Structure 1
Amino acid sequence: MKLPFSPGPVPVPLWQLLGIRNGDDPELWGRLRATQLFVGRRLALFLLAANLSGAVAVSILFNGRVPHWWLATWFVGLVAVSTLITLRRLNTRHLAEGQASLQEMRDTALEGLALAAIWSFPPLVFAATAPAATFDLWMILSVLMTAAAFAMAPLVLAALSFIGGVAASAILLLLLQQAIIPALATLIFAALLVAACITRARFHVMLRAIELNLSDSNETVSLLLGEFEDSRADWLWETDAQRRLCRVSTRVASALGYTPDQLEGMSLLQALAGPSWDTGDFSPGLRLLADKLKRREPFRDLVLPVIVGGKQHWWEITASPRHDESGRFVGFRGVGSDVTEQRTSADKINRLARFDALTGLPNRLYVNEALARALAEAERWGSRAAFMMIDLDRFKAVNDTLGHPIGDRLLGRVAERLGQLITENELIGRLGGDEFAVVVNDATDPARVESLARTIIDTLSQPYEVDQHTLYIGASVGVATSPRDGRTAETLIRSADLALYRSKDAGGGVFHAYEPQLHVDAEERRVLEMALRKALDRGELQLDYQPVVDATSERLSGFEALLRWHNPEFGTISPAKFIPLAEETRLIGPIGEWVVRTACEEATRWPDDVRVAINVSPEQLHNPNFVAVVARTLASTKLAPHRLELEVTESVFMREGTGAVKVLDRILELGVRLSLDDFGTGYSSLGYLSRTRFSSIKIDRSFVTAAAKGVPEALAIIRAVVALAGSLGMATTAEGVETSDELTLVRALGVSKIQGFYFGRPLPVSEARALAGRTGPAFRAA
């Protein structure tokens, strides 16, 4: 409980003291008002005696001076009123520990006014007929007001009413008799009595409030102590100078599973060691405790395992050495508590923080800690540690086609296989997604590390049976070894990641060890990425246009728009270098949108029979907004849809099954033409041709060059593609035609269109626009 007022110069507000208003804590003020009424009850008989004594004195004073029946009537009235008020006061026994309302306090004012009215008769009526008795009457009234100030002080409102009424009567009497100074003295005397009443009432209220506050505090402490006793979570213990338990409490004995008599005189270490006391197999915590006891040093929050009833518990103990008056060491005294539940919870939290919930393998945090320990040990002993990063190949296709639940179960199978490969020298963990890692504590034998990497790839590449699905994935591995590739965990992880990137870039299914050149390449990629992010805004990108001509008439049928990047710092950068970078960093979206818009705007300046072909990245087709980009561009440029041809490669279909087909179908609904680029260099699935309405198939330059050299396989492939395209109503375009012999060959094989340096290199926009305006056979390169 908190006191509802501050212990300052005016600690209790007057309005609450009088009972006119309630305080901030109505319940507490109800109890304080009850205390005021109860104190008034204890003084009720004293007040009655004071009134009766005063009545007798007045009767004697005015006997023979006023009519007897006046005195008798007044005396009977006073006795009746005083007795009634006394009975009301005595009837407040129930308020000793209860509550009192504001109305009950206000009613006391009526009691004071009733008494004051009765006592106004002697000065105003009796003294008028016997002025000589004025001084004696004034003395009687003064004593009566003093007695009332004492008896009615807790009931301030009643005291003020009575003292004020009697004093007003006495002052009026004195003023009528021209006794100004005695009247003024009476006023001051009454004011002093009122001040004394208020001070005494405040003292009573403050004292009671403090008592209530202490009572509630004691009750709270008692409850806390009771909870402490009932919880049986902590206990006190004590040893003598020989570290033997003494004055063993029932609490300590119960916690250890003994009786107090069994523990009395037993070594503290023996009691805590339990069964291990005989074997000497002590825990590190117990050894630390023994050292502290031996050195007589205080200790705090020492955690150690304790066997109780065949089960392991965890105790936390704190103690300080004890000394007698002469300073001689007499033992230890401390407190202990069972923290088994907290320890178990902490272990669970620690496991959740350091182990992967899906596979049960150590997570990234645990792997980093293990690698740091392995590097520290390797540096200490002058050996090597290694770190492998493993990335699953084709895992995303499983998630995309069969769903994440199947993918999660597949990850569990991968973890099981990896767990069967490692020994005590390695630790395997999952970094997240489809990335795993291996920490090799001792990597002094490079051949052994290389063999483990190959074994991991071979093992993870075996088929998996998951929910009646036979799944085929692979693995790529990057390896970094300390101290050559890094002396810290962060550096070694970065080196392994660069090596893994090289493995993935090589097509997957292989491992690479870190080389310094990888860091150089990565830095070059980082710098190029920063430059590429600004290239579009700086106007560094441009389109060149390579002519595509009809194989028979050699007339211009269209241009292929080819993206070029000219950077002031790095010069001309090959598309083979910056296009994959744009795809990886998701910059291909805004760049591809710019290419489509720019090429279509330029095509509107060409004759209506000249088309523009644009290469489309797989990343663009997997963006649902790409169809909207094409539609908006055609609408804004007013280019006829059939004059736009989008070229895609087979890799589009290898990523998400039929997802790309749906996007291409929506593009075809716009009236745009589609061309399958580099057919024959990938998987060359005929299913792609049957599911998507391509306008033409482009034959890769490698087949044209090989066929010109007489390679039978290349000739056969070109003939097959031309025949297949003809049967499906598609045109064919031969890329990379550079000589007259190549031209003659592809014409003989039946190719529809030709593209290559023989008819024109990629041209700047001004030259392409000029060429498009010509009539007749297309311009031939020298």
Structure 2
Amino acid sequence: MTGPTSSQFAQPRIDARALLGLYDPADTTDWAPIRAAQIASGSHMALFMLAANVVGAALVTLAFGRLMPLWQLGAWAALVAVVATTIAVRRLSNRNRTDATATLADVRGTFVDGLALGGVWAIAPLYFGLSGDGGALLGLVAVVVVLMAAAAISMAALPLATLLFLFILGGSTAGIFAWLDLEGVAANLALFTGLLMIGCFARGRALVVIRAGELALAERDETVSLLLRETEQETNADWLWEIDAQRRVVRASPRFARSIGVDPASINGMGFLEILAGPTWQNGNFAQGLRDLAEKLKAREAFRDLLLPVYVDGEERWWEMSASPRIVEDRGFVGFRGVGSDVTEQRASADKISRMARFDTLTGLPNRLLIHESLARAMAEADKWGSRCGFMMIDLDRFKAVNDTLGHPVGDRLLGRVSDRLKSLMTENEMIGRLGGDEFAVVVRDASDRQAMERMARTIIATLSAPYDVDAHTLYIGASVGLAIGPRDGRTPEMLIRSADLALYRSKDAGGGSFHAYEPQLHLVAEERRVLEIALRNALEKDELTLNYQPVVDAGTGRLTGFEALLRWTHPEFGPISPAKFVPLAEEARLIAPIGEWVLRTACDEAAKWDGSIRVAVNVSPEQLHNPAFVSVVTQALANSGLSPDRLELEVTESVFMREGTGAIRVLESLLDLGIRLSLDDFGTGYSSLGYLSRTRFSSIKIDRSFVQGASKGEKEAIAIIRAVVALAQSLGMATTAEGVETEDEHAMIQGLGCTKVQGYYFGRPLPVGEARSLAIDPRASARAA
């Protein structure tokens, strides 16, 4: 290819200052890899020169050993070895750092090497030479000549350092012989030094020229390889093309003619753009790629990898074009020459990959990436026309229970049924997609009618809540929805998604099966949760957590039987924080395990100080029981505190049995084998399945305070439930503990219904550790005194 681009392959003009590393020329030559070659050459010969210096110093020491004090010769030889070793180590360490490129400072820095090595070697002729006889001087000359010749041959790639070394050593040696009135020897040494310096510079320049030529050839080969795509194509899909200044085809390659479906004999002279436009040439409905090509040709600009559609035998194909303008010295611009290739298959593969990257493989719905892109487009359109768009987040209720009980394959098929139902609800105004897991999203392009969005949310909940038949199972799930309106609830896709997520979180907190629209205060609630979570993560380290102990007494005698350990958190800035607020936060943030372990150890340590008949009850989270290591935690807490296992009672709720296959029952059995007592807390408020009682050997059942309060008001249902629980417990040999007893009448009622133990403000509020310890000292005293 002729023209301006060919100049880049011309042999560079080597500036002497640039060769020495004293100047950075502003020409087209890239000196960085050339300097790297200079440094690399010096690194390769570093060990050779180190050996030459050490051997040379040893020979000089032998030659002057009978004439000079050995300590002086040894000190000098050691100095030569240290300087030569330092230079060798530095050059070897720079080998990898300057492997591809090197700076002007890297080459210029070798000045110090030549100066230092020449300086220490100049000591030999200038100092030792004055005391030498004929034999010693002859040996010195021989070493100097050989060392200088070795340096000039092996280190010519770094001419600055080598020339300094030659000049200092050769000049000092010639000077001392002239001082000794040996003018002939001095003249010969000076001449030899000069010739070596000239030869060294010429050799250094030749090495640079060779390296510059290699770089130019490599660049040319790379350019040709890129044009012909020799390594990328296994087919004959590439072809060269050339047009003149009037954009007519000249010297068309047969492959180009065959690619466009034209006779090679008749294609020369045809309009290039007309050939590429095909049937669109007549109606002027050109593709954008062809318009871009026309602009490049008109501006006489080089271009690369320009993609445009062409029609060959009525079939749309995709071509990729690259070209450069042709400039001839005496004629100026004469046209373009370039390369083209058919990339239809590659484009089809790219489209397939793009689809795979934007669609969910399980449901076939748009995935998170495409949802985000669609929302961004909807928000841009809303901003352009002053309208509104909407975003809904959908989370399936009770879906996790399906996965846990029936397995993930059934869960995956259920997600497919859910996606089918959601797709049936969509119109052209909405797009449904899957965010991941059991979360879906809806992008509403026009959300000007808020009531329509709310109706859609209700419809989605009702549709997804209908039963599903999957693999002979009838499954019931539900849905919670959070919706946000843009740009009111967020001016970017990220902000709008965040707002919908906060609304969804509120729906889940409300129990699911409902929808909520975003409200500004939701951000305040989320921020409060975030701040509390950060503070809770440091609460243990800062000793902000404490335990209070609420008395548990015998219902008949009022005698103290134990305490329930209750966790309290007092923040130095926020003050006391309700357990109803921070305990769920601890479970969600996966902090309940370390906090629960601290509660267990602290309660055991304190109970070990009480009377031997007083028990301590500790609430245990389901997350703790689903961890097999919890058995070791309890064992260590008992061993460290010295508390008897039968004095520790762990309180669990029914939710621990909701996750099948997690090993919670095995953990409970292992705890029972230690002699620990188990209590089922809040029985009657959840599913209250009798199967739970048959799976595990509970020692007591706790009746929730809501039933106690209801019974005190005369509610028949509450009274009936308490009687049923008491009868059930008696038949299974379990005790019953009524919570929330606050008055004497409630105590009398609970006692009459048959409860064996009572807990509530009537017998004692939750006590600080000191008051609880005082009460536990005399177990015969009634807790009512507290």
**Shared fold per TM-score greater than 0.5:** yes
* Structure 2 counterparts to residues 109-148 of structure 1, below 5 A: none
* Structure 2 counterparts to residues 692-703 of structure 1, below 5 A: 692-703=696-707
* Structure 2 counterparts to residues 644-723 of structure 1, below 5 A: 644-656=648-660, 659-723=663-727
- TM-score normalised per structure 2: 0.68
Q: Distance in 2 between matches of 1:658 and 1:687?
A: 17
Q: Distance in 1 between matches of 2:513 and 2:266?
A: 69
Equivalent of 2:477, from 473, 479, 500? 473
Distance change (3 Å), C-alpha of 1:655 and 1:288: same
Show the counterpart of 2:61. Answer: none
Equivalent of 1:401, from 395, 399, 405? 405
**1:257 touches 1:308 (CA, 8 Å); kept in 2?**
yes
Residue 265 of structure 1 and its aligned partner are, at CA, apart by: 5.1
Q: Distance in 2 between matches of 1:430 and 1:653?
A: 30
Residue 472 of structure 1 and its aligned partner are, at CA, apart by: 2.6
Show the counterpart of 2:272. Answer: 268
Show the counterpart of 1:345. Answer: 349
- Residue identity opposite 2:440 in structure 1: F
**Range moving further from structure 2, 455-464 or 284-293:** 284-293
- Residue identity opposite 2:310 in structure 1: V
Residue 717 of structure 1 and its aligned partner are, at CA, apart by: 0.8
Equivalent of 1:530, from 510, 534, 554? 534
Equivalent of 2:365, from 343, 361, 366? 361
Once the two structures are superposed, residues 10-33 of structure 1 have per-residue CA deviations (whole angstroms, 9 ceiling, x without a partner) of: xxxxxxxxxxxxxx9xxxxxxxxx
* Structure 2 counterparts to residues 220-259 of structure 1, below 5 A: 231-239=235-243, 243-259=247-263
Show the counterpart of 1:770. Answer: 774
Once the two structures are superposed, residues 607-665 of structure 1 have per-residue CA deviations (whole angstroms, 9 ceiling, x without a partner) of: 22211111111121122211111111112222121111111111212233674322222
**1:757 touches 1:781 (CA, 8 Å); kept in 2?**
no
Show the counterpart of 1:625. Answer: 629
User: Percent identity among equivalent residues?
Assistant: 70
Show the counterpart of 1:303. Answer: 307
Q: Secondary structure at the match of 2:547?
A: strand
**2:228 touches 2:238 (CA, 8 Å); kept in 1?**
no
Distance change (3 Å), C-alpha of 1:607 and 1:325: closer
**2:559 touches 2:783 (CA, 8 Å); kept in 1?**
no
Residue 260 of structure 1 and its aligned partner are, at CA, apart by: 2.3
Q: Distance in 2 between matches of 1:464 and 1:230?
A: 52
**Range moving further from structure 2, 367-376 or 400-409:** 400-409
Q: Secondary structure at the match of 1:687?
A: helix
Equivalent of 1:582, from 558, 568, 586? 586
Q: Distance in 1 between matches of 2:602 and 2:234?
A: 82
Residue 276 of structure 1 and its aligned partner are, at CA, apart by: 4.3
**Range moving further from structure 2, 254-263 or 557-566:** 254-263
Residue 499 of structure 1 and its aligned partner are, at CA, apart by: 1.2
* Structure 2 counterparts to residues 97-246 of structure 1, below 5 A: 231-239=235-243, 243-246=247-250
Q: Secondary structure at the match of 1:655?
A: coil
Show the counterpart of 2:177. Answer: none
Residue 522 of structure 1 and its aligned partner are, at CA, apart by: 0.9
Q: Secondary structure at the match of 1:605?
A: coil
**2:682 touches 2:702 (CA, 8 Å); kept in 1?**
yes
Q: Distance in 2 between matches of 1:381 and 1:226?
A: 49
* Structure 2 counterparts to residues 30-109 of structure 1, below 5 A: none
- Residue identity opposite 1:540 in structure 2: E
Q: Distance in 2 between matches of 1:399 and 1:447?
A: 35
Q: Secondary structure at the match of 2:504?
A: helix
- Residue identity opposite 1:684 in structure 2: S
- Residue identity opposite 2:566 in structure 1: L
- Residue identity opposite 2:568 in structure 1: R
Distance change (3 Å), C-alpha of 1:483 and 1:227: closer
- Residue identity opposite 1:573 in structure 2: I
**1:245 touches 1:263 (CA, 8 Å); kept in 2?**
yes
2:504 is equivalent to residue 500 of structure 1: yes
Structure 2 portions without partners, runs of 5+: 1-43, 45-198, 200-205
- Residue identity opposite 1:374 in structure 2: A
Once the two structures are superposed, residues 400-456 of structure 1 have per-residue CA deviations (whole angstroms, 9 ceiling, x without a partner) of: 233333333333333333222222222222222222222222111111221222222
Show the counterpart of 1:165. Answer: none
2:512 is equivalent to residue 490 of structure 1: no
Show the counterpart of 1:436. Answer: 440
Equivalent of 2:316, from 312, 315, 319? 312
- Residue identity opposite 1:546 in structure 2: Q
Once the two structures are superposed, residues 193-219 of structure 1 have per-residue CA deviations (whole angstroms, 9 ceiling, x without a partner) of: xxxxxx9xxxxxx9xxx9xx99xx99x
Q: Distance in 2 between matches of 1:680 and 1:447?
A: 40
- Residue identity opposite 1:431 in structure 2: L
Q: Distance in 2 between matches of 1:270 and 1:257?
A: 13
Q: Secondary structure at the match of 1:478?
A: strand
Q: CA RMSD in A?
A: 3.7
Q: For the pair shown, which has the larger CA radius of gyration, 1 or 2?
A: 1
- Residue identity opposite 1:744 in structure 2: A
Q: Distance in 2 between matches of 1:678 and 1:226?
A: 78
Residue 264 of structure 1 and its aligned partner are, at CA, apart by: 4.7
Q: Distance in 2 between matches of 1:472 and 1:266?
A: 70
Show the counterpart of 1:509. Answer: 513
Q: Secondary structure at the match of 1:780?
A: helix
Q: Distance in 1 between matches of 2:277 and 2:459?
A: 47
2:729 is equivalent to residue 728 of structure 1: no
Q: Distance in 1 between matches of 2:719 and 2:503?
A: 39
Equivalent of 2:758, from 744, 747, 754? 754
- Residue identity opposite 1:661 in structure 2: I
Distance change (3 Å), C-alpha of 1:425 and 1:287: farther
Residue 230 of structure 1 and its aligned partner are, at CA, apart by: 8.9
Q: Distance in 2 between matches of 1:745 and 1:345?
A: 78
Equivalent of 2:461, from 454, 457, 464? 457
**2:611 touches 2:778 (CA, 8 Å); kept in 1?**
no
- TM-score normalised per structure 1: 0.68
Q: Distance in 2 between matches of 1:403 and 1:311?
A: 49
Q: Distance in 1 between matches of 2:332 and 2:595?
A: 86
Distance change (3 Å), C-alpha of 1:657 and 1:502: farther
Equivalent of 1:745, from 749, 756, 759? 749
Equivalent of 1:426, from 426, 430, 449? 430
Q: Distance in 1 between matches of 2:450 and 2:255?
A: 60
**1:758 touches 1:781 (CA, 8 Å); kept in 2?**
no
